[in-house]
Structure 1
Amino acid sequence: MRRIRAAAIGAVTLSLALAASACGGGTSTDGGGSGGSPKTLTYWASNQGASIEVDKDVLQPELDKFEEQTGIKVELEVVPWSDLLNRILTATTSGQGPDVLNIGNTWSASLQATGALLPWDQAAFDTIGGKDRFVDSALGSTGAQGQDPAAVPLYSMAYALYYNKQMFADAGITEPPATWDQLIADGQKLSGDGKWGLAVEGSNPSENIHHAVVFAKQHGADFFTADGTPDFTSDAAVTGVKQFVDLMAKDKIVAPGNAEYAQNQSISDFAKGKTAMLLWQSASANLKSQGMSEDAYGVAPVPVQSGAPGTGTGVNSMVMGINLAVFKNTDNLDGATEFVKFMTSDAEQKILNQAYSSIPPVKGAQQDTAFTTDANAVLKDTLAGSAVAAPQVPDESQFETAVGTAVKELFADAAAGRAVTEDSVKAALEKAQQQMPAK
């Protein structure tokens, strides 16, 4: 999911949404739903580019193309990440939603549980060319296991380590770190004189949860048991979260001010040479918007404990990305399905994913030379072999907020000079677990 995910949603709000099963898009007269017309669709797009205006510039020509081909006009609204989840949940209860919308792929199971989204069974997939057009890693983040997907993959992303080539050369570092021990050692060489080894977004719960899941996985932990019960305080989960926060608290390679970062400030610092390394998902477009040349940075897999990314404890990213969903009670189901088919066609996948520096989840589009750069090779390899899907549980969005906020508070402690210990990390995760709905 992307770009800045502020999944600020409380358990009460989601509970209301769950109670309003299948209450989705439809017939509002103020821009929600299709308004009963087979010649119009309303589309909520997530903010993928450097600004909402950038997204409009990317998307509108494609929507015009769709109208030319089908006669169906698409009314576009680009929704900031800070508003998107709450807007979607409100739509599930009010019925005043769009026909088609983007959802962060980590929300798939939570939104699936509302019953408001069209299930994509085999027959539905057949209308857009078949399920086997999509890569497995992307399909794995479309809803709960054993159920028909709640959405169709649109953009795929993965985390990578971005590093400043000149800063590395000046410090005598000849290759990017493959383990966290190497990253810390390099980061300490690169820190000083107002510059820092690594940038994070410590005040962004959604960025925090992505890293928390990865660090926990690298120590053998999951945040949920097999039956979906929260398990936030295992020794391995505590160790993983502490290792992440310790990059600031103990290792001193992250500036204390990063505890307040939540809106792409880490991207800006990296692009301006204030920090030497950045952990980010599909960052090339954002770095370009900040004026950083592609020649100025390298891209490598996110480090792992052993130095060998892969499955199990070699996991180094969540499977990130955007899915395309249809509200079940849209008044223009045929048009909405046609739009999904258009947006996931090979041709459109090449155009849109190239614009956003993401990876097409459609196999045919992935083969295009636009996606064979060194940076994209790292992202594709990560998605294929060393990324893990977000927990596909109905309470995933509350999990993101609760644990992501716990990590935010731990970063605040580190920045203020308060000790970050195993006990304090466990207490923060215990508090987060208590905020989860009772099973």
Structure 2
Amino acid sequence: MPNRRGLAALTAAVSLTASACGGGAAIGADGGNAHPRTLTYWASNQGASLADDRRVLAPELARFQRRTGIKVKLEVIGWPDLLNRVLAATISGQGPDVLNIGNTWSASLQATGALLPFDARLLTAIGGRNRFAPAALAATGAAGRDPAAVPLYSLSYGLYWNRALFRRAGIPRPPTTWAELTADGRRLTGGGHYGLAIEGGNYAENAHHAFILGRQHGADFFTADGRPRFNTPQAVAAVKQYVDFMAKDRITAPDDAEYAAQQSLQDFATGRAAMLMWQSAASSLKAHGMPGDAYGVAPIPFQTANASGPARVDSMVAGINLAVFRNSQNHDGAVKFVRFMTSTAEQKTLNAAFGSIPPVKDAQDDPAFATPDLTTLRQVLAHGAAPLPQVPDESQFETLVGTAMKDLFADAAAGRPVTDASVRAALTKAQQQLPTS
């Protein structure tokens, strides 16, 4: 049966009904292979649109069917809806056979018992643990437990900068510290342009940047035993620094407070903003008409030059994991599908199409992943990225802290003051919303 602490942690932030998803048996059922010729697959939106994902995935799913005789019924789900859909399936036991999850949710979903653990036998069945990059495996569930899912697409954050706008402003290179970014942003703001585009209405983006800046400030949002610490002075400093790009520094447009569906990508691609912090944005920028030679990609800045030690974190370990729903009626087919999607050939095809980094090491040698932008992002992932806390309440951290930051951005956009006290109050309220049992 699912772990009730995990379920409580996952469900408190959203209002869901079991009717949101269909098919399958109750969680805790043995699963098995009652429907060996079909699979249902929930894919996350990786491309410029849901239709773009279907276009990329359709021929690969057809190839899998030719090899195995198993038909895959595909549904691509946008990021604003994906976690709610997964939570509804987790609660009701009515879900797909195979699903993509944000890798930051791995430990939270693991705690529910809804996902099939990838124990030694299953890892062997898909080629073994050693095929995957260590950074990607670090975001597959709690330490010391079998992975709740396996890496499918790896991502890291980078600072995208518009070459023409930088050149016009007389700025020779991208910033390496936040002080430089703020100063550059002010020079780049004006005449219909802003220095930095953000997604202030996107709780996940907010929480990711709170984590990155939090690590740079020395914040730990959870203790070693998983207790929340959302409102420490270091956490307050990190969140205020991010919101201050709009509230104090004025290098971010007030409209960005409402952005939640990749509008910041469009603003960057069309020259309305000169900088963007994003995970592997190349394919989306291309879809918005921005050629690859129009921008550069650099690591996200640090608090100080030559930062070292725990403060030298400039990304979270971002990416997508592939999971098997425990109540799947086709466990054997689901594992075959995971093996297919994580095969070296498919890893090259899919990650090249979506502009992400293959978590399978053998696939990374392909020239498609040696472009200047992906080379930078690979180096960040290997040397500067840290996994979000692999604790049951991690998804709650994203939802609650990210939503608190959304409210703070709304204050900033409306001209209301954002202070240390108001940030601390918002983070305290977020922590108080966590379930206690």
SS of 1:113's equivalent?
Answer: helix
- 337, 340, 346: which one aligns with 2:338: 340
- Quick one: which amino acid aligns to residue 122 of structure 2? A
Shift of 1:387: 0.7
Match of 2:378?
380
Q: TM-score, normalised by structure 1?
A: 0.93
State the distance in 2 between where 1:130 and 1:339 align: 15
Q: 1:142 to 1:13 in 2, by over 3 A?
A: same
Q: How many Å apart are 1:36 and its aligned residue?
A: 2.8
1:250 is displaced (CA, Å) by: 1.1
Which amino acid letter does the alignment assign opposite residue 11 of structure 1? A
Q: How far off is 1:329 after superposition?
A: 2.6
1:365 to 363, 366, 372: 363
Distance 2:396 2:380 in 1: 26
Q: Distance in 2 between matches of 1:111 and 1:263?
A: 24
Structure 1 residues 414, 93: closer, same or farther in 2, change over 3 A?
A: closer
Counterpart contact for 2:33–2:331, Cα < 8 Å: no
Q: TM-score, normalised by structure 2?
A: 0.93
User: Aligned residue for 1:21?
Assistant: none
Taking the aligned partners of 1:15 and 1:263, their CA distance within structure 2 comes to 21
Matched ranges for 1:250-399 at <5 A: 250-308=248-306, 312-399=310-397
**Aligned-partner SS, 1:428:** helix
Q: Given the alignment of the two structures, is residue 41 of structure 1 paired with residue 42 of structure 2, yes or no?
A: no
**Residues 173 and 13 of structure 1: is their aligned pair in 2 closer, same or farther, counting only changes over 3 Å?**
closer
Please state how far the C-alpha of 1:96 moved relative to its aligned partner.
2.0
C-alpha distance in 2 between matches for 1:112 and 1:399: 16
Aligned match of 1:89 in 87, 101, 109? 87
* CA gap 1:78/1:309 in 2 versus in 1, 3 angstroms: farther
Cα contact 2:17–2:88 (8 A) shared by 1: no
What is the one-letter code of the residue matched to 1:348? E
Query: What corresponds to 2:96 in structure 1?
Result: 98
User: What letter matches 2:370 in structure 1?
Assistant: T
Amino acid at match of 1:138: A
Q: How does 1:129-144 map to 2 (within 5 A)?
A: 129-144=127-142
C-alpha contact 2:236 2:420 (8 A) present in aligned 1 = yes
CA contact 1:117–1:150 (8 Å) conserved in 2: yes
Tell me which residue corresponds to 1:119.
117
Q: What amino acid is the match of 1:373?
A: T
User: Following the alignment from structure 1 to structure 2, what is the Cα–Cα distance between the partners of residues 108 and 164?
Assistant: 34
Aligned to 2:6: none
Write the letter of the residue equivalent to 2:280.
Answer: S
Question: Are the aligned partners of 2:44 and 2:79 in contact in 1 as well (CA < 8 Å)?
Answer: yes
Separation in structure 2 between the aligned mates of residue 84 and residue 154 of structure 1, nearest angstrom: 16
Q: Counterpart amino acid of 2:302? A: V
Is the 8 Å Cα contact of residues 16 and 88 (structure 2) preserved in structure 1?
Answer: no
Percentage of matched positions with identical amino acids? 62
Deviations 1:320-340 (A, max 9, x none): 110000012322111111110
Cα distance 1:384–1:150, how it changes in 2: closer, same or farther (>3 A)? same
Between the two proteins, the alignment pairs up a number of residues equal to 422
Distance 1:34 1:48, change over 3 A: farther
Distance 2:13 2:194 in 1: 40
Aligned position for 1:11: 12
5+ unaligned residues in a row in structure 1: which ranges?
1-7, 18-23
Q: 1:95 to 1:10 in 2, by over 3 A?
A: closer
For 2:290 and 2:48, locate their aligned partners in 1 and report how far apart those are by CA, in whole Å.
Answer: 13
Instruction: Give the Å deviation of 1:123.
Output: 1.5
Deviation at 1:308, TM superposition (A): 3.9
Amino acid at match of 1:375: D
